[in-house]
Every structure is written in structure tokens, then in C-alpha cells.
Structure 1
Amino acid sequence: KVWIIQLPNVSTILGTNFWSLSPYKQGRIFEKLGICKEVYFIRTLLHGIPPWNDANLFIEDLKFAKVSVRVYHPKVPSAGQRRGVLYLHGGIGQIGSIGMYERVCRFIARRSDSVVVCVGYRLAPEHPYPTQFWDCLTATVHFMTTAEDYGVDPTRIIICGDSSGGTLAAAVCQTLVGRTDLPKARAQIILYPFLQGVDFNLPSYQQNGSVPLLLKKRTLTLGMQYLNKDVSLMKGILEGSHVPEDLKLKFSKWLSPDNIPMEFKIRGYKPPASATYSKELHTLAKPVFETTFSPLLAEDAIIRQLPETFILTCEYDVVRDDGLLYKKRLEDNGIPVTWYHIEDGFHGALFLIDCGYISFPCAKRAMLNVVNFIKGL
């Protein structure tokens, strides 16, 4: 006997309005129906359509000490060794992939005439935090020690990342300052990065809490899932109840809204009410104070050894002020910083570079600034 099973159309089950919902809402519906976890749905949806073959680049998939990478090498012969760019993708440790960032990495490789390595670090929840950091560090160390095999000058390696990939890039750079057995990173490029889990009431969180693509509550929900923590902790963390007084005092010199220029408070800012400290919440939320999750909390002794830095911020982005605060910390410690602010930008805009009609002009402007910075190194 032959059995023919006809599966119902998703729209029939969920209604025609399903496809008008945000990917996160769609994912939550799939999870509640028992079809798949929300994060798996979003991964599939955002993986995107791969671009055409690029006649200007050699592209190969490799392993750097068991970590998956994709290497983009310009075909045009070079008179000498090229710059190397390690790209650590975003996705809050759960969503991104090499394929998702194919266009971004091709753009950088072509426009800057650099060898680009995109790191396919393992994702949570299958591989719990901080696996993502260790994979990125492992791939970086491997590339630094074998750079010449790829025609790259080991003294001109740039570590780059966007969103949570910017978190990883900053954390990797901080870790490398203590490695005397490796060449120093030439620069770090951090693009609209998440850099601290202490204060979720900075001006940018208040102003952009409901602005797509990264909503305030969504940021913390994904952050808790990344750390394998119960999302019920979110309310107390949003209020700041996870931070004891001694740490508030210590971090205030780095995270104070007073360190943010007044021009970024014009759209509104109200100092939050003092939160009641919860020792239990602090214990449960301890990973948010680790510099692999919150690089902005690193000590000055580390910060002052960091390489030249490019920071990109977007006006309509909840983590805008993380970038502004890190910029100030770096400059206060004598680190040269090139800063580019997209006044009409939003979180995740770069992901749509070179996507035809759905590309955003602000993404092209931002990426050209990144490329110009790389070419100047």
C-alpha cells in the first residue's frame, strides 16, 4: 500500500496574517505549536538566499583548529602580503552563520583588497556560552600563527564583528593583549556592538526600546537565552536589581549617562529610579558581569593595551550608547578611535548590504567607511 499524506498549508493553520508578523513572533508561534524552537525558526528564516558566484574572489571553507571558517581571497595578484580581516558575525550567539554574512564578507574582501576570514563559531543553545568566545579566540590564534600561508601579513590582522560579534571581537582583542607569543592585532572594528549587561536604562534603551530590529525586551530575552538563564530574570535585570552597590559605584565611572554627549539625549532621557538590590538575582545573573559578555567592564590596565579601533553606532539602536561609552573609555586610555555614526541607521542594517532593492543606503555608507578604515591600515 502507498500512503499519501497531505500536510496543511501554514497559512491555513495560522491564518493569512501570520506572514505579516515579525520573525520573532512567528518563531514563538512555531515553538508553542511544538513545530520547532523559536531560535531554529529564526536561523532558517534569516539564512537568506546565497548570492551569485563572485568572479573576483577565491572562496573556500576550511577548519581553523576544528573551528569552521570561510576564507575570501582576492583573485588579483598582490605585490606583497595583504591585510587579514577576521569577521565574527552577530546573532546573540544563537542565530548568525557564515552564509548569513556572505555578502558582508565579500564586500569587505573586494573593496579593501584584504583576505577575509568569517568564523562559523558554534551556536547556543546546542553549545552553551561561552563556547562562542572560545571558538572565536581559537580561530583568531590559528589565523595569527598561520597568516603567511594565506598571503597575509601577521602584523596587519584586524578583528571585526557586528552586534554580538562586536562583543566577541572586543573580548577577543582584550584577551590577546596578554599573549606575548602572538603578533599584536593591528586594529579592531566593532559595529553597533552590545558591550555591557549592567544598565538597560541608558538613553538609547529608553529612546529606541520599541524600534525594530532589536527591541529592548528582545535584547534581554535573547541575552538570557544565550547565557542559558531563565527569561523570568529579565524584569529584575531591566530594573538593575542585579547590581550591588559596590559594583554600581565601580561601574559608574564607565557607564554613567553623564559620559554620553548631550546631543544623544535630545530625543528623551529620564534617569531611572533606584532599584532594590537582590542578592539572589545577582548570583543567578553573574555571567553578565564577565568581560566575555560585557567587554565594557574590563579594567583600564587591559583597555590601555588595545589596538586602534573603529566603532560604528546607529541612532535608532538600543545599544547605541554601549558604543559611545566604549569610545570614551578607549580615548580616555589613549587608544586612537575612528567613530562613524549613522544618523538614519538601525541595528542590523549592514546585514542587508548588496541585497538589491531591499538594501539600505545607510548600510552602504557605513560599509564604505569600514573599508576606508581598513585600507588606511
Structure 2
Amino acid sequence: MGILLAIFLAVLAGIVAIAFYYEHPKAEIPHGISERQKLYVLHYFMNFGLGLATFLDKVGIISEAHFLRALMETIPPLKDARLLIKDSRFERVKVRIYQPKTSNNSQRRGMLYFHGGVGRFGSIRAYERTCRYFCRKTNSVVVCVEYRLAPEHPFPAQFEDCLTAAVHFLRTAQDHGVDPSRVVICGDSSGGTLTAAVAQALVNRRDLPKLRAQILIYPFLQCVDLNLPSYQQNKGVPILLKERTLVLGLKYVNLDLGITKEVFKGCHVSEDRRLKYQKWVSPDNIPHEFKTRGYKPSPKSLPSKKICEVAEPVFDPVFSPLLAEDSVIAQLPETFLLTCEFDVLRDDGLLYKKRLEDHGIKVTWCHLEEGFHGTLFLAVLAKAIRFRSGTKGLEKIVNFLRLM
């Protein structure tokens, strides 16, 4: 127990050191450390944290999910006298509302934010800085949704909470000083997945104002083909490794991790599904310039009836929004889509971009050539772990929002 406590305190000391940078913006990283080196140092500490979380879970001290949540909860928010911040509930769902203190003669734009964390961790507190940033920079009312987390609340509870919050916000927008015709939903990573799923769920709601736009930040969008070019090229690139992506996804929908190898081979996709989805999920739909960096077409293995039955939940459009029917895609709102070159999920975004544009949906695409998964989240934290790509991505989103 003493050793475990020492390890935990070491991690805590690292967090405190990072927190020092949060409160001391003049602190600088040593000269000569490149962005790539910073990324791999960050990846080392992340792997250490994940390894510790797994170990503590196996020995019965604390579950992996709860340990990771606790780490994210240590991110301290900065004081900000320019904003009014209050906690509330939209129906049964906890939310935090951020409003500029400055007076406004007209109703503001509203943003509903769904945080990342693969449906298992992440929180309002962890994304406090992100939401404050968007509120300040765009003069918007920002609402962060504290949706329930797995495994205590199994999938799709997360989607249900986000949809409930979106419906409530659209109905009561004016109560918060928001123009109902200027409501935008936004999310990063799995929060981007939730954003896409909520936007799809709202397309046929005639009793609500239409969403003004959706903002998808490096979203996970499909579990049909995990050998797309970006999965091959970036399988070992921090922070989201190829195997980690699938493991976290399977945990999210409470599936046995024993099917991981078969899913990578494509054994979970029946012939009928393969024929249906090939027009939407195919390397042929990825522009050539994204295939030049070490991509080789992968032969598909024969489907396994048993694996296909077990993997059924991953084809739900709530989990894989890229698989929604054309009739849904054609009604989606204007979209801002951000992808990163060094991200296994890059091609999910490229495929969704093509589907949207094929149906006449206006898409503003931001591709970060130096970007990696998580770079925007880091951009609002410590200067020591901030990357150029993340800062650029945030600026692009702010510029898009100002036009809404």
C-alpha cells in the first residue's frame, strides 16, 4: 500500500507542477524542446497514468474510470471576472451556463458543448477552460453538459442526456438571452460523436427551432473499417493509439475486449452490411494526398456470424453517426469539421465531410497539418503543453462562430 501511495503522490506532484504553469503564464518550457518532443513527453506521462489506472483497477483499489476521472478533476479553473457562471439543470441533466457580463442589446448566440472522454470520463470541471474560452472569445452563451458516464450508466445514456439538454435549450433559449435560431452544438472526440448523433436526432423535430450549426472536433464516427489510411499511418502516434481507440470504444458500449483482433480484421461486418456501407466507408473516398504516407490496402477477412452478433451495438448510428441513412444526412445543419493529420480518426472526418457535401450540406473544413488528437483540449491549459495546432484550431472555430 505504501508503494501505491508513493506512486499516486508522484502523479499528483506532476499534476501540481503542471498546475503551476496554469497560474504562471510567464513560465516557459526549456529552449530547444520541439513540439514533437513535447508531444512524446506528454504521451509518456499519459501512458504512465493509464498504466497506473489499470493496475489500481486490477488490484481492487479504485476502478480505472474513477481514477482517470479523478485526475481530470484536478485541472484548476482560472478566475474570470468577465463571466457569469452558474450551475443548473435542463430537465434531469446537470449543466453549467457561461454568460458574458457585458450588456447586449440583442439576443446572443448559444453554444451547447458536449465534452470528450469516451463516455467514461471527462466533466464540466475538466472542460471549464474550454467553455470559458468560447464564451469570452465569441460573446456567446455557452452551456456545458454533465451527461452521465459509463459504466455506471451504460450506453446510450450519454446520448440521451445530451439530446435532452439540446431539446431543453432550444425550447428555453430566450430565457438565457439566446436567439433560438442561433444555437450551435459542439463537441470534441467522443463529444464530437455525441454532437453528430444529437444533430441527426433533431432533423425531424418540427416542434423545435433548427440548429444553426454543428461543430465536430476530431470525432469518432464509425466502427466499420479500422484499417483506413489514418488508422495505419497514425497507429502509434500519441495520444490516441489505434488499439487504444478500439479498446475504449468497446468498453464504452460494454462489449468483450476479446473481440478486438476480429474487429480489426473486419470479421464483425456481415456481407450485407459490407455491401451497404462500402459506399460510405471506403478508402476509395479518401483523397489521394492522404494515402501517400505509408498506406497499404488491407484484405478483408471473412465475417464471423458470432462476432457479427456480438458487435451489433457498434453499428448503431448513435455510436457510429457516419452510418446514418441518406435521408438523415441530407437534413443536417451547416457544419464545421476539424481533422488532424496525425490522428487515427482523421479519415472518419474526411468520410463524413464527403457525405455531407454530397448531400449539399455546407461544410467548413479545418485540417491541422501538425495536429494530433486532443490538441485543442491542451491549447487552453498550461503554456508548457500548448501546441501551435491547438491554438490555430481554436481560432478557426472562433472565427466560424462569429459568423453565425
TM-score of the pair, normalised by structure 1: 0.95
Q: Which residue identity is paired with 2:386?
A: S
Whether 1:331 aligns to 2:325 is no
Look up the equivalent residue of 1:139 and give its one-letter code.
A
Is residue 178 of structure 2 the alignment partner of residue 157 of structure 1?
A: no
Once the two structures are TM-superposed, the CA of residue 361 in structure 1 deviates from its matched residue by: 1.9
How far 1:269 moved relative to its partner? 1.0
- Equivalents in 2 of 1:322, 1:354: separation in Å? 25
* Equivalent residue number for residue 358 of structure 1: 385
Instruction: Report SS of the residue matched to 1:99.
Output: coil
Report the Cα distance in structure 2 between the residues aligned to 1:12 and 1:179, rounded to whole angstroms. Answer: 54
Say which SS state the counterpart of residue 127 (structure 2) adopts. helix
- Aligned pairs for 1:190-229 (under 5 A) are 190-229=216-255
Residue 36 of structure 1, CA deviation: 1.1
Could you say which residue in structure 2 is the equivalent of 1:64? 90
Q: Measure, in 2, the Cα distance between the counterparts of 1:49 and 1:258.
A: 42
Q: How far does the alpha carbon of each residue in 1:19-76 deviate from its partner, in whole angstroms, 9 at most, with x for none?
A: 8543221211111222111121111112332222211110111110010101010111
1:169-215 Cα shifts (integer Å, max 9, x gaps): 00000010010000000000000000001110000000111111111
Instruction: Supply the distance in 2 between the matched residues of 1:76 and 1:15 (Cα, whole angstroms).
Output: 42
Aligned to 2:144: 118
Query: Separation in 2 of the partners of 1:128 and 1:269?
Result: 36
Q: Whole-Å Cα distance in 1 between the matches of residues 395 and 132 of structure 2?
A: 13
**Correspondence 1:367 to 2:394:** yes
1:186 aligns with 2:180: no
Equivalent AA in structure 1 for residue 136 of structure 2 = R
Following the alignment from structure 1 to structure 2, what is the Cα–Cα distance between the partners of residues 101 and 326? 26
1:103–1:353 contact (8 Å) kept in structure 2: no
Change beyond 3 A, Cα 1:293–1:8: same
Q: CA deviation at 1:364?
A: 1.1
- Identity score, percent: 57
1:302 aligns with 2:328: yes
Relative to 1, partners in 2 of residues 1:278 and 1:53: Cα closer, same or farther, differing over 3 Å?
Answer: same
1:11 to partner: Cα distance: 6.7
Alignment of 1:122-271 (within 5 A): 122-271=148-297
Partner SS, residue 91 of structure 1 = coil
Instruction: Say whether 1:76 aligns with 2:102.
Output: yes
AA of the residue aligned to 1:92: V
What are the superposed Cα offsets for residues 118-159 of structure 1, whole Å, 9 maximum, x if unpaired?
000000000000000000000000000000000000011001
Cα distance in 1 for partners of 2:110, 2:262 equals 42
1:3 corresponds to which residue? none
Distance in structure 2 (CA, Å) of the matches to 1:22 and 1:16: 11
Task: Letter of the 1:103 partner, please give it.
Answer: R
Task: Kindly indicate whether residue 11 of structure 2 is the aligned counterpart of residue 10 of structure 1.
Answer: no
Q: Is the 8 A contact 2:78 2:129 kept in 1?
A: no
Residue identity opposite 1:371 in structure 2 = V
Deviation at 1:235, TM superposition (A): 1.1
3-state DSSP class of the match of 2:105?
Answer: coil
* Unpaired runs of at least 5, structure 1: 1-6
Residue matched to 2:39: none
Contact map agreement 2:85 2:96 (CA 8 A) in 1: yes
| Deviation for aligned residue 1:13 | 7.1
1: distance between equivalents of 2:6 and 2:111? 47
* Structure 1 CA distance for aligned equivalents of residues 48 and 377 of structure 2: 17
Q: Distance in 2 between matches of 1:204 and 1:11?
A: 39
The question of 1:317 aligning with 2:336 is answered: no
- In structure 2, distance between residues paired with 1:32 and 1:318: 28
Give 1:352 deviation, angstroms.
1.4
- Secondary structure of 1:62's counterpart equals strand
Gap change, CA 1:141 and 1:274, over 3 Å in 2: same
The residue identity in structure 1 corresponding to 2:129 is R
Cα drift, residue 320 of structure 1: 0.5
Partner Cα distance (2:384, 2:71) in 1:
19
Per the TM alignment, residue 15 of structure 1 is displaced from its structure 2 partner at its CA by 12
Letter in 2 for 1:177: V
CA RMSD of aligned residues (A): 1.7
Aligned-pair distance for 1:10? Answer: 2.8
Counterparts of 1:261 and 1:106, CA distance in 2: 36
Tell me how far apart the structure 1 counterparts of residues 5 and 169 of structure 2 sit (CA, whole Å).
47
- Give the corresponding residue for 2:317: 291
Cα distance in structure 1, aligned partners of 2:220 and 2:318: 11
Q: Residue 278 of structure 1 corresponds to which residue in structure 2?
A: 304
Q: How far apart are 1:351 and its partner, in Å?
A: 1.2
1:23-38 correspondence runs (5 A) = 23-38=49-64
- SS state of the match for residue 255, structure 1? coil
Q: Say if 1:242 and 1:281, in contact at 8 Å, map to a contact too.
A: yes
TM-score for the superposition, normalised by structure 2: 0.89
User: Secondary structure of the residue that 2:119 maps to in structure 1?
Assistant: coil
Which amino acid in structure 1 is aligned with residue 290 of structure 2?
Answer: F
List alignment gaps of at least 5 residues for structure 2. Answer: 15-44
**What CA distance in whole angstroms lies between the structure 1 residues aligned with 2:177 and 2:211?**
16
